[in-house]
Amino acid sequence: MTSSNIERVLKESIMNIKSTAVGFEEFTIPMKDVPQTSWFGGRLSPGETSTTTFTIENPTNKTLGINIIPQKLQLIEKFTLNGTTETHLQDPILNKTETYRPNYIPVSNFTSNIHNEQNSTSTSIFPDNSSLLVLNANFEFDTFMNQTNPIYADDLRISSLYLYDWNDKNSDTAISSDDLSLVNRGGSWGTVQELRVTEP
Do both 50 and 90 map to the same domain? no
Do both 119 and 188 map to the same domain? yes
Of the candidates 164, 144, 155, the one whose C-alpha atom is nearest the C-alpha of residue 102 is: 164
pLDDT of residue 162: 92
pLDDT of residue 148: 66
pLDDT of residue 70: 74
Tell whether 75 is covered by a domain: no
Do both 17 and 100 map to the same domain? no
Q: Which domain holds residue 84?
A: 80-200
Do both 40 and 7 map to the same domain? yes
Tell whether 121 is covered by a domain: yes
pLDDT of residue 28: 75
Do both 163 and 93 map to the same domain? yes
Do both 101 and 9 map to the same domain? no
pLDDT of residue 34: 61
Is residue 133 within 8 A of residue 200, CB to CB? The reply is yes
Q: Please tell me whether the overall predicted TM-score, pTM, comes out greater than 0.85 for this model.
A: no
Cα dihedral 99, 106, 175, 128, rounded to 10, equals -130
Tell whether 62 is covered by a domain: no
Do both 102 and 197 map to the same domain? yes
Is residue 19 within 8 A of residue 26, CB to CB? The reply is yes
Taking the chain (200 residues) in runs of 10, the rounded mean pLDDT of each run is 75 81 76 56 71 83 86 80 83 82 85 56 71 86 64 65 90 88 84 86
